[in-house]
Amino acid sequence: MKQEIQNNFSLKNYNTFGIEAKAKQFVAVQSVDELKTILEQNKLEQKFILGGGSNMLLTKDIEALVIHIDLKGKKIISENEDFVWVECKAGENWHEFVLWTIDQDFGGLENMSLIPGNVGTTPVQNIGAYGTEIKDTFVSCEALSLEEQETKTFTKEECHFGYRESIFKNEAKDRYIITSVVFILTKRNHKINTSYGDITNELAKNNISTPSLKEVSNAVIAIRKSKLPDPKELGNSGSFFKNPILLKSDFAKIHQQFPEMKYYDISETEVKVPAGWLIEQAGFKGKRFGNAGVHENQALVIVNYGNATGQEVLDVSKNIQETILNKFGIQIEAEVNII
Ligand code: EPU
């Protein structure tokens, strides 16, 4: 099937913030061959790769050829008694993929249920939730270089994963299109991780003491639904900011001034401070500024009440950043890609 390139294409339905912005040109590709053809035929065009559109804020029209990665399919590529290696194409919806693994009784992804977006973008920011990150089950991913259209396999080590970080946000930024990802999952002796407080409480509420993969997934879904707005109802991109990481020596001074500040030790020398707490303490939780605002149940999430422009959302985020810097002396960084 030949894909048509469309001009002046609205991206409103292709970003979970629901922001109206136009692509100069747009095409959706359903196979790697199609993707190669599009790249070859449009060598000189500026290109912009679009996955699930769940981690970006569009503040302007995109003066480029937007290529939407719509590659579908998943398969078991290897297995033994204990483990299975599953390859999933980039365009599969992440949550549907997670539910499929749970239906097969494959363990490892259950804590990351209901995260919006597509499989191909999960390595880019090493998505994570409730004590688990993609890097814990990631084996490798296949990517196509934009320039030479060569396929390259990135191993886990080569991805340089960190907290919401990877090579694809740094050295390899804008140079590769991830086309599929391989995960290693457990077939038995699942490593159920319910240590995160919210999960412990949710399971206790339902009197579950030895949860199955499905029960962990259901607990995560219930927690996320109670705190995080559904992008179909209220445009958003999940956490707008990263939780800031501070040197313990710097944090000690701030903590003296704000002894009630929450924090988690993450290494010998560093602590992570929940940005949601800082934003709530600064009085932003549930506050609305015109068409955009801060979510009432989770201060880390900025929402579009319907007709917000990307600029309006950006203004809210800048206001938050400045206020937090002035009040606590802490710089918080956007997690979302600002386009
Ligand atoms: N908090 C507040 N007020 C708020 C929100 C949070 O005081 O409005 C406090 C909570 O009381 C808690 C702490 O902040 O003590 C942490 O809150 P929570 O467990 O809700 O997690 P988070 O740090 O706000 C991170 C991820 C989420 C992920 C959750 C659960 C980042 C940037 N965000 O949020 O990921 O679902 O942990 O693991 O790391 C996302 O990246 O889009 C995302 C939703």
pLDDT value at residue 2 = 59
| Catalytic one of 113, 217, 239, 317 | 239
Assign 197 a pLDDT band (cuts: 50, 70, 90).
Answer: confident
The reply to whether ligand 1 has any atom less than 6 angstroms from the CB of 277 is yes
- Mean pLDDT over residues 211-226, rounded? 96
Q: Is the pLDDT of residue 175 over 60?
A: yes
Q: What distance in Å separates the CA atoms of residue 130 and residue 209, rounded to the nearest whole number?
A: 18
CA 256 to chain centre: 34
* Percent of the chain clearing pLDDT 70 (strictly above): 99
pLDDT value at residue 147 = 87
Express each pLDDT in 25-36 by its tens digit.
999 999 999 999
Assign 230 a pLDDT band (cuts: 50, 70, 90).
Answer: very high
Cα 276 to middle of ligand 1, angstroms: 6
The tokens for 6 are: 């469309």
The tokens for 133 are: 């990150």
User: Ligand 1: which atom is nearest the Cα of residue 274?
Assistant: 14
pLDDT, averaged across the chain? 95
The reply to whether ligand 1 has any atom less than 6 angstroms from the CB of 262 is yes
| CA nearest neighbour of 120 among 54, 172, 177 | 177
164 is catalytic: yes
Residue with tokens 């977006």: 117
Residue range(s) in the chain whose domain bears CATH number 3.30.43.10? 6-69
Q: What distance in Å separates the CA atoms of residue 6 and residue 21, rounded to the nearest whole number?
A: 14
The reply to whether ligand 1 has any atom less than 6 angstroms from the CB of 285 is yes
Cα 237 to middle of ligand 1, angstroms: 13
Determine which residue's CA is closest to atom 4 belonging to ligand 1: 276
- Mean pLDDT over residues 80-97, rounded? 97
Determine which residue's CA is closest to atom 13 belonging to ligand 1: 274
CATH architecture of the domain with range 74-227: 2-Layer Sandwich (3.30)
User: Ligand 1: which atom is nearest the Cα of residue 227?
Assistant: 20
**Beta carbons of 45 and 64 less than 8 angstroms apart:** yes
Residue range(s) in the chain whose domain bears CATH number 3.30.465.10? 74-227
Q: Is the pLDDT of residue 3 over 90?
A: no
The CA-atom distances, in angstroms, between 175 and each of 33, 48, 217 are 18, 11, 34
The tokens for 246 are: 């501070």
| Catalytic one of 133, 142, 164, 166 | 164
Residue range(s) in the chain whose domain bears CATH number 3.90.78.10? 245-338
Could you tell me which residues are beta bridge partners of residue 28?
68
Q: What distance in Å separates the CA atoms of residue 100 and residue 115, rounded to the nearest whole number?
A: 14
Neighbour count for residue 81 (Cβ, 10 Å): 6
Report, in this order, helix, strand and coil percent for the chain, each rounded to 5: 30, 30, 40
- Mean pLDDT over residues 251-265, rounded? 95
Q: What distance in Å separates the CA atoms of residue 330 and residue 322, rounded to the nearest whole number?
A: 9
| CA nearest neighbour of 242 among 137, 169, 327 | 169
User: Ligand 1: which atom is nearest the Cα of residue 196?
Assistant: 38
Cα 79 to middle of ligand 1, angstroms: 35
Cα 155 to middle of ligand 1, angstroms: 29
The reply to whether ligand 1 has any atom less than 6 angstroms from the CB of 100 is no
The tokens for 278 are: 């800082």
Residue range 245-338, CATH number: 3.90.78.10
288 is catalytic: no
Express each pLDDT in 49-69 by its tens digit.
999 899 999 999 999 999 999
Assign 297 a pLDDT band (cuts: 50, 70, 90).
Answer: very high
Determine which residue's CA is closest to atom 28 belonging to ligand 1: 129
Assign 339 a pLDDT band (cuts: 50, 70, 90).
Answer: very high
The reply to whether ligand 1 has any atom less than 6 angstroms from the CB of 242 is yes
Domain covering 6-69 assigned CATH 3.30.43.10 in the classification: yes
Rounded to 5 degrees, what are φ and ψ at 256?
A: -60, -40
Express each pLDDT in 94-138 by its tens digit.
999 999 999 999 999 999 999 999 999 999 999 999 999 999 999
239 is catalytic: yes
